[in-house]
Chain A
């Protein structure tokens, strides 16, 4: 059989070739397995990890209640942060100079002071202002609150975290809005849409694609920031663990208990983020969705 005939019979057949070998990858896997085995050995054989204490506390009611509080404080603070952040971002891009300046000042202040300071400040606000009232300065008052009743520490803490978060979210939302092309705004304007409507219906839904990933970061960061509530004695997850090891002096296992639950919640949040990203990526790039789907199938949630 001549070579030309050979080539013609081969036309269009799938290629059978020896793939490139990757010995480096196998070596890396071997080294990593060895290191993992050493770490596992240490964790299991060193009695000072006190795994029986970990087991004793990991599923207790006190820890669950702390975890629950951590989760709802995170959720509430992020809800405030996201809602206010969107408002601030739109304000900052407003053609109205007064509105723009107010938003800028807000972001400047809340981003420029430590969240811990803000947290402690809000928690002890009651000491600064015993009463809150709404009315005309030096004139009649229409509404009157006793601050100590209005803001128990836990709500003050949620408010503090939320107001601080809003400053960061505002910048994230703004970057999302900026990522949407000017043509979209013009097309919506040409159809007779007004600013608020075109923001809500056209720009923000597209901006979400850019907003969601860093917001996922913020949620996870918020989850861990709630541990600062230990400073104002709100018994969330970390404070609860702290309270237990302050009485039994078994610090390491209880820190492990807290860490494990933070990791569990973070993992759940990451899965949620994956689905949110897929939702807001619709239409923009079909291939992107398919890529994401493949990624989930092969690697599991990032």
Chain B
């Protein structure tokens, strides 16, 4: 199981701005993990989906979550930006607790406004893209910049066009999502998330809903992002992507982390039976 080693150094990802107070302090004064999960529990009614997840993602790292369906990896990812509320343990992003404020020993639930404020620093890309169908590609990318960050429309447009250029879709700016292929939609969704200048990007099976020939273009966009130093947590079944791009690979099963480590190491030489079983089926 992985522990947050404060002595390890990683490429810094810009300068992560603190959002509010309550920053946790790492003993020894090392870098603060971008994502730090300690014994995270999550239940839906009586069904316990996460049974104590420990994980740390340092700034600039790409962490891939792997595991059979129902293992809780998507749920864990959704907990990171508070789309799901955790029932136990601690979860912090860039040293700030997710969903709560701590005063002394007491935890206080955050108001909607504060949750929204923290979410805007975390980008998320969904399996089903979830582009806004009533807006064009550029409209999708401008929307939250204008409405949430209060950027001027011209600034938002310029930023949006630059991002579309980056994902290779500048010529599709005025297309509606229904006029784009799945791969193109997902790249627009990535650009939309990047427009908020996130310090962390979450990817929830970004290629699972795509036709096989479109998987590559989305993975390429993600690879570029990783090379640019973005901190990323990626739930995916793309073993090749994990091997080439990820800094850590975490294998989950039945709500627990089974093993974690260097992706090439884990893939080539899995230590646990469940990891071996899973990899033998997908490789």
Residues of A whose CB lies within 8 Å of any CB of B are 181, 183-184, 186-195, 197, 201-202, 205-206, 280, 282-286
Contacts and interface: CB of A to CB of B under 8 A. Distances in A.
A183 B178 CA distance: 16
A191 B176 contact: no
A193 B130 CA distance: 15
Nearest to A288: B178
A283 B177 contact: yes
Contact of B147 (A181, A197, A284, A286): A197
Contacts of B116: 189, 192-194
Contacts of A206: 132-134
Given A186-B130, A187-B131, 4 more contacts: A187-B130, A190-B193, A195-B112, A202-B132
A181 B131 CA distance: 11
Interface string B103-127: 0000000001100110111111010
Contacts of B189: 187
Contacts of A193: 116, 144, 147-148
A283 B135 contact: yes
B83 A192 contact: no
Interface residues of B, number: 33
A182 to B, nearest CB: 9
B119 A192 contact: yes
Nearest to A281: B134
B102 interface: no
A194 B113 contact: yes
A6 to B, nearest CB: 39
B135 A183 contact: no
29 contacts: A181-B130, A187-B126, A187-B189, A188-B132, A189-B116, A190-B119, A190-B124, A190-B193, A191-B119, A191-B120, A192-B116, A192-B196, A193-B116, A193-B147, A194-B112, A194-B113, A195-B112, A197-B147, A201-B143, A205-B134, A206-B132, A282-B176, A283-B133, A283-B136, A283-B177, A284-B133, A285-B178, A286-B176, A286-B179
B13 interface: no
Nearest to A284: B133
Contacts of A194: 112-113, 116
A97 to B, nearest CB: 16
Contacts of A285: 178
A190 B83 CA distance: 8
Nearest to B127: A183
A186 B193 CA distance: 13
B192 interface: yes
Interface in B170-226: 176-179, 189, 192-193, 196
Contacts of A184: 130, 132
B81 interface: yes
Interface string B122-161: 1110101011111110000001100110000000000000
Contacts of A205: 134
A60 B251 CA distance: 82
Nearest to A282: B134
A206 B130 CA distance: 13
Contact of B196 (A187, A191, A201, A286): A191
